């Protein structure tokens, strides 16, 4: 049997586009003599569809387009991920399904058994778990067809009471196929590959694994679909962060690559993060129908990295940098920001904020009389910048890119309606130390980000001689504590026991918890870690823990 995997970039809710992609690849598979072509989890509607699934018309559209796709399955079989109605009368109204098509019609439906409800996943909100676990017949072959999480209930930390493959194995399948929507995070690729290899070795079956590629708002899918034989030998891995179509021969119980032998996995983790963020920016703009970005360019490391990533994602001519100097901005910051734009080839403008700030301060003068200048006046500068950037965004149809990093977001070192403005947070899941690492990667071949930006002390430049370290611990220490608390979910006692100063730990964790209200108002953050701020981290705003 010759099997094609179509690793595609879908658009959530765009049935015409997704259906066109699927049918086009069915025809391509036919032309290459494939017996079966496979598409990813919820490919038809895009992943994640979220509350679109609660609309009857949305599910009607799924069924209509499934039948349209099935009509093209003449002389070939296809597996397509889509939601299906639950007609049994009990439980949730939908299943997360793998639809098997051939001879111009739908032949079988396999329902997902294990529904993840952790981190960014909330599938039990919409779907009923399968109570009918069975293999499917494709071209006379018995195939164990599963959906993403169904292969993850292995090892010592099992989240579910049963493992679907244990039941499917009783039907003596000759091959496993798993369709997935497995989002990228910087440590996930190795773990995912290990889990899939373990399945092959445990059940002594070869596996074809198909993933999504591309970004859906904050979620980035890396592709990296796999062909693995029963002994755990990796036959092939498909492209990362790119669409690809490949065929595999299944003969005598083994998979044989029918396409050219190439491996696309970048060797450096920072390169994966770079490629993920470029993908996230590009797809966010493309799928929203926008082409141009604007950002505030301060001459600091954060805005420099965002500007460089945006130029790579959208084209330098489509990224407009606005330099917004104040009375406290140093000459070298303005010069560095100008040099960055020249290095990248991005258009830029200099728009001083002094008049705007003075006008606001004059308006507030009667109300602030007798008070001492403090953080309020500093925030007026930041909010003036945000106002000007948003005005340019509105007038000329730009999306404003937010340039805050995860360290700042964690401890509230940012101004609501100021530097926290934006339609997309590009580096909001990168700690400050990671931003520097990414900047050095960007400069690997040539100096794009001026060296002075990499070496000078970080500063918001909202008062004379200000440095971030005046208000925050040094970033190398701060980021370690934040990582232990946010990603590792360790409490203060555990972190202190690891050797960190008790007062410092309590101070940092208090800052994190008391600034949850700010993070609730931030733009969507491109997710590159296992625990990003946003949909995957749900904390109460009005709470007392560690405060």
Q: Are 136 and 155 in contact (CB under 8 A)?
A: no
Catalytic pick among 73, 148, 247, 421:
148
Instruction: Give the pair of three-digit tokens for residue 506.
Output: 């309590």
41 catalytic? Reply is: yes
DSSP H helices in 146-233: 164-168, 188-203
How far apart CA 62 and CA 44 sit, in angstroms, is 7
Tokens of 105: 């019609």
Question: Which residues are CB-contacts of 522 (< 8 A; sequence separation ≥ 6)?
Answer: 402, 404, 409, 420, 425, 428, 533, 534
Residue linked to tokens 């007798």: 370
The answer to whether 409 touches 428, Cβ cutoff 8 Å, is yes
Task: Please name the helix (run of DSSP H) or strand (run of DSSP E) that holds residue 179, with its range, or none.
Answer: strand 175-179
Based on the residue annotation, tell me whether 406 is a catalytic residue of this protein: no
- List CB contacts of 458: < 8 A, sequence separation 6 or more: 300, 301, 432, 467, 468, 469, 475
Q: Count the helix, strand and coil residues of the chain and give each as a percent rounded to the nearest 5.
A: 40, 20, 40
Of 41, 218, 237, 378, the active-site residue reads 41
Residue 464 DSSP symbol? T
User: To which residue do tokens 């890396």 refer?
Assistant: 222
- What does DSSP say about strands 136-138 and 141-147: parallel, antiparallel, or unpaired? antiparallel
Cα dihedral sign, 461-480-490-189: positive
Catalytic residue, chosen from 2, 62, 73, 112, is 112
Quote the DSSP letter at residue 54.
G
Give the Å distances, CA to CA, from 172 to 38, 130, 249, 399.
21, 20, 20, 54
What per-residue string of b and e applies to 521-530 under the rule 16 or more CB within 10 Å gives b?
Answer: ebbbbbbbbb
Tell the residue number behind the tokens 């920001």, with chain if given: 337
Q: Which residues contact 61 (CB under 8 A, 6 or more apart)?
A: 15
The verdict on whether omega for the bond into residue 443 sits within 30 degrees of 0, i.e. cis, is no
Question: Which ranges constitute the DSSP H helices of 289-372?
Answer: 301-314, 331-344, 354-368
Catalytic (active site) residue 247: no
Tokens of 454: 């990499």
Torsion sign over Cα 353, 356, 357, 358:
positive
**Angle, to 10 degrees, between the axis of helix 15-31 and the axis of helix 56-70?**
20
Cβ proximity of 269 and 194 under 8 Å: no
CA 435 to chain CA mean position, Å:
17
Q: Which residue has the tokens 């062909």?
A: 227
Active site residues: 41, 112, 148
């Amino acid at each position: 049997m010759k099997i094609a995997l179509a690793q595609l970039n879908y658009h959530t809710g765009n049935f015409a586009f997704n259906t066109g992609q699927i049918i086009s690849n069915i025809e391509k598979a036919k032309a290459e003599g494939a017996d079966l072509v496979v598409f990813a989890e919820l490919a038809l509607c895009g992943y994640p569809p979220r509350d679109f699934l609660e609309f009857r018309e949305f599910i009607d559209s799924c069924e209509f387009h499934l039948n349209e796709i099935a009509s093209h399955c003449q002389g070939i079989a296809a597996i397509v991920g889509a939601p299906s109605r639950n007609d049994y009368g009990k439980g949730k109204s939908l299943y997360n399904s793998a639809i098997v098509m051939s001879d111009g019609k739908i032949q079988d439906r396999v329902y997902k058994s294990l529904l993840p409800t952790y981190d960014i996943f909330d599938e039990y909100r919409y779907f009923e778990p399968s109570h009918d676990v069975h293999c499917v017949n494709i071209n006379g072959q018995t195939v164990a067809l599963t959906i993403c999480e169904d292969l993850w209930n292995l090892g010592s930390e099992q989240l579910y009471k049963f493992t679907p493959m244990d039941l499917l194995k009783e039907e003596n399948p000759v091959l496993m196929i798993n369709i997935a929507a497995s989002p990228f995070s910087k440590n996930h690729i190795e773990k995912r590959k290990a889990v899939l290899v373990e399945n092959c070795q445990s059940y002594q079956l070869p596996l074809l694994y198909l993933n999504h590629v591309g970004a859906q708002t904050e979620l980035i899918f890396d592709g990296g679909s796999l062909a693995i034989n029963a002994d755990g030998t990796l036959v092939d891995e498909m492209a990362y962060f790119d669409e690809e179509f490949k065929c595999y021969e299944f003969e005598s119980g083994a998979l044989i690559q029918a396409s050219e032998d190439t491996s696309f996995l970048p060797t450096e983790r920072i390169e994966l993060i770079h490629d993920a963020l470029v993908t996230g920016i590009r797809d966010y703009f493309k799928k929203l129908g926008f082409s141009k970005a604007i950002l505030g360019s301060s001459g600091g490391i954060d805005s420099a990295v965002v500007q460089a990533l945006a130029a790579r994602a959208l084209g330098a001519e489509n990224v407009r940098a606005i330099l917004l100097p104040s009375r406290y901005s140093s000459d070298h910051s303005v010069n560095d920001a100008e040099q960055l734009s020249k290095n990248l080839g991005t258009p830029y403008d200099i728009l001083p904020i002094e008049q705007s700030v003075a006008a606001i301060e004059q308006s507030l003068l009667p109300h602030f009389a007798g008070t001492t200048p403090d953080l309020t006046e500093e925030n007026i500068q930041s909010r003036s910048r945000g106002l000007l950037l948003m005005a340019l965004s509105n007038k000329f149809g730009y999306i404003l890119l937010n340039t805050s990093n995860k360290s700042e977001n964690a401890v509230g070192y940012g101004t609501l309606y100021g530097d926290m403005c934006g339609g997309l947070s590009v580096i909001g899941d990168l700690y400050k130390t990671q931003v520097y690492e990414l900047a050095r990667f960007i400069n690997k071949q040539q100096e794009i980000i001026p060296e002075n930006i990499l070496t000078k002390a970080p500063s918001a430049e909202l008062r004379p001689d200000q440095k971030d370290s005046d208000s925050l611990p040094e970033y190398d220490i701060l980021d370690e504590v934040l990582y232990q608390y946010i990603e590792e979910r360790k409490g203060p006692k555990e972190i202190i026991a690891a050797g960190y100063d008790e007062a410092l730990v309590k101070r940092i964790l208090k800052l994190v918890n008391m600034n949850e209200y700010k993070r609730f108002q931030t733009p969507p953050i491109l997710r590159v870690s296992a625990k990003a701020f946003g949909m995957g981290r749900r904390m109460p705003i009005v709470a007392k823990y560690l405060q």
